[in-house]
Structure 1
Amino acid sequence: MQTLTDKTVRPAQFYLKTDRTFTGIRKFSWVLVPIVSFGSLYYPLLGLFVFAIMIAIMGIGFFQGRYWCGNLCPHGSLFDKVSMSASKFIKIPRIFKSPVTRWVFFAIYMFMFFVRLARVMPLWGNPEFMGKFGMLMGKQYLVMPTVLGFALSMLNPRSWCSFCPMGSLGHVFYKIGKVTKLNHSFDKKVTIASTDKCHKCATCARCVRFSFRLSRISMIITSSAASSASAAEPA
């Protein structure tokens, strides 16, 4: 049976506008985006929620990589629930997926974070510290993932996710977990449950959140089939 690849499926067929909000969190967490990003302009303490998100991403990322991105992220919910209907759903530009783009953007984002932190550190111990820090974090949350991310979602809902600095932060901590071997028991891989029932139609690849390439799905199918065959062989 012929395995589908990127070259045999046109972009219009590849990206399907299908429901990706499988849980209550993914359906409704997007409401936090306007509340925090715009609300922090008037109530700066709301911006501290952004710092809490960073801590959560580092903690979850250490054990399960970008699990936050696909299951808990408010912006992911915004893109999949709100942006999808208006999105052109074109293929995400290759430059967005480039490791160079991702890590350069990550470096810029973290540099901006530490610059903002340095600005408010002289106020440490002062009642104004939390408000100032929240205001700066709120503005960063508003400009990049909200305004820029929403604009890019008109091309494809998950365009921003290709180089999101918070996703990269989770990935960094996941690698730390791998090196220290502390996340081994939590690390989960995508596999095909019943390879004998798989028709290799690639429908799963066309509706998956991060627009996996069909070749990657094919690799998973092949790997799973090989594992099943190996397990079935008599000792």
Structure 2
Amino acid sequence: MNPKKLLSVIFVVAVAVGGYFYPPVGLLVIGLIVLAVVLNFRSTRYFCGRICPNGASLQAVLPKVSRKHRLPKTLYAPELRRALCAFMLFCMVNLLVRFGHSWAQVGRIFWAIYVISLGISYTMGIFFKPRAWCAICPVGTLQDTLGSASTKDNASKDSAKAES
């Protein structure tokens, strides 16, 4: 296993296990989301391909047990991906408003969302390809959405310059 994949597996296990015993560890998840959004300005899904510890850990752990089936085309639909992203954002905001009264509680909320996502991603990786989760990942969907919005903004600015 190469060092990047090993570090990714260590990070995922540390957050998943460590967050149970020490909830502020879940705050690292916020850092990952912010990093993904910031790096998205460099290139869409740059974070996913080069930094995401979840994707690298899926590639490190699952290749021998994965059935390597293709995902159903319906899971690639932007509407479904955006709906999942919106649902997870709704759940996150709802939990933060109801229970996020301290940094430890905020960490616990993000830890719980992270662990649920890990469970889904590893299950999908076993039944489909190892990185099947990446096709519907809410953080990746957020990056795609922000990337397409900035591309549209740039295109409209370019067309406005061309007209003047």
Instruction: Give TM-score, length-normalised by structure 1.
Output: 0.61
Displacement of 1:33 after TM fit?
Answer: 1.0
3-state DSSP class of the match of 2:20?
Answer: coil
Equivalences, count: 153
**1:107 alignment partner, one of 83, 86, 90:** 86
Give, in angstroms, the shift of residue 91 of structure 1: 1.5
1:171 counterpart SS class? helix
C-alpha displacement of 1:101: 1.7
Offset at 1:26?
4.0
For 1:76, the aligned partner's letter is G
Alpha-carbon deviation of 1:117? 1.8
Deviation at 1:180, TM superposition (A): 4.3
1:30 maps to 9
1:148 aligns with 2:116: no
Offset of 1:32 from its aligned partner?
1.0
AA of the residue aligned to 1:164: C
User: Which residue identity lines up with residue 124 of structure 2 in the other structure?
Assistant: L
Structure 2 runs not aligned, ≥5 long: 155-164
The partner residue of 1:75 within 54, 60, 64 is 54
Question: What percent identity do the matched residue pairs reach?
Answer: 24
Larger Rg over CA atoms = 1
- In the other structure, the counterpart of 1:204 is none
Which of residues 54, 57, 63 is equivalent to 1:84? 63
Tell me the TM-score normalised to structure 2 length: 0.85
Q: Do residues 93 (structure 1) and 69 (structure 2) align?
A: no
Query: Which amino acid counterpart does residue 46 of structure 2 have in structure 1?
Result: Y
Q: Is the contact made by 1:50 and 1:141 (CA closer than 8 Å) also made in structure 2?
A: yes
Per-residue Cα deviation, 1:148-206 (whole angstroms, up to 9, x for no partner): 1000001211211111001011122223432444xxxxxxxxxxxxxxxxxxxxxxxxx
User: 1:86-145, CA deviations, whole angstroms, 9 ceiling, x for partnerless residues?
Assistant: 101111221221222211111111111111221245x3xxxxx1101001110000012x
Consecutive unaligned residues in structure 1, runs of 5 or more: 1-20, 124-128, 182-235
CA RMSD of aligned residues (A): 1.7
Match for residue 131 of structure 1?
Answer: 104
Q: CA deviation at 1:71?
A: 1.1
Aligned to 2:138: 165
Determine helix, strand or coil for the equivalent of 1:77: helix
Say whether the 8 Å CA contact 1:102–1:168 is kept in structure 2: yes
Pairing partner for 1:55 from 24, 34, 41: 34
AA of the residue aligned to 2:63: M
